[in-house]
Amino acid sequence: MRHGIVLFTSDRGISPAAAARAAEAAGFDTFHVPEHTHIPVKREAPHPRTGDSSLPDDRYLRTLDPWVALATAASVTTRIRLATAVALPVESDPITLAKTIASLDHLSAGRVTLGVGFGWNVDELADHGVPGGKRRTVLREYLEAMRALWTQDEASYEGEFVSFGASWAWPKPAQAHIPVIVGAGGTEKTFRWIAKSADGWLTTPGDTDIEDKARRLREIWREAGRAGEPEISALGVRPDPENLAKLEAAGVTETIFGLPDRSPDEVEAWLQRLAGKLSLPAGSR
């Protein structure tokens, strides 16, 4: 089971490059960042954690662009994977976003994992012209269109929300297949969407009974005729050995721990302490 960290990026505190470099040195496998283009002041969408329009953290208002953040991280690391937890692809132009992700994967020697969300903040989506009731359809089309641009010499796509004729688009990603992980509540609807259109599931802080949900995801995965096993990333779990062993036995492939919003020195010390609790290889620290 791999171990990753997520930095809730903002225009204060430790930079993504410094955090990724420290995480790599401490032996972590993946560095994640989130995405919000903006937060409308007046909203009807409740936050999943607060249950109303209030936000649990003011960094929602201050998040850095995830692809710029990961590009800075790529320039100072060599091994750690570069991921989003989560990005909101439907808030970008799919052709431009495909180019951005392919360029990052090319320049980082194939280290990108695309964590995506449907978008809890439907008011934010509305400002990008995305109908809240169609957000899953829009995301599916975006992913299909981007995969076409990543893999086909002359790519084209025809959908309800994305459409373009035969086109050339290079560079292609260094990876033959960029993994797509969906961050959403562990429901039957989500798992069936994943089995059709993605490579795995990223839990939310509200998910409980991860073991039972992981089992159900694997059942749906097999029913859909998918080979192998889905990736399962558990967010915000306890780092004690008993809990980690239970998650690994349940099929969890990665745990993700959130970095504290503190000074660079404090964050780096925190990473070293967590790496020790997880018994990460001492040679990498």
Using pLDDT thresholds of 50, 70 and 90, give the confidence band for residue 283.
very low
pLDDT digits (tens, 9 = 90+) for 46-65: 999 999 999 999 999 999 99
pLDDT value at 39 more than 50: yes
Confidence at residue 285, expressed as pLDDT on a 0 to 100 scale: 46
**Is pLDDT of 284 > 80?**
no
Residue 241 in this model has a pLDDT that exceeds 50: yes
Q: What is the pLDDT of residue 206?
A: 85
Angle 94-107/135-151 helices, nearest 10 degrees?
50
When pLDDT is cut at 50, 70 and 90, the band that residue 154 belongs to is very high
Q: Using one digit for the tens of pLDDT, what is the confidence trace for 4-18? A: 999 999 999 999 999
pLDDT at 60: 96
Whether the Cβ atoms of residue 201 and residue 186 lie closer than 8 Å to each other: yes
How large is the average pLDDT for residues 249-268?
96
Tens-digit pLDDT profile for residues 104-128: 999 999 999 999 999 999 999 999 9
Report the sign of the C-alpha dihedral through residues 38, 44, 47, 52, in that order: positive
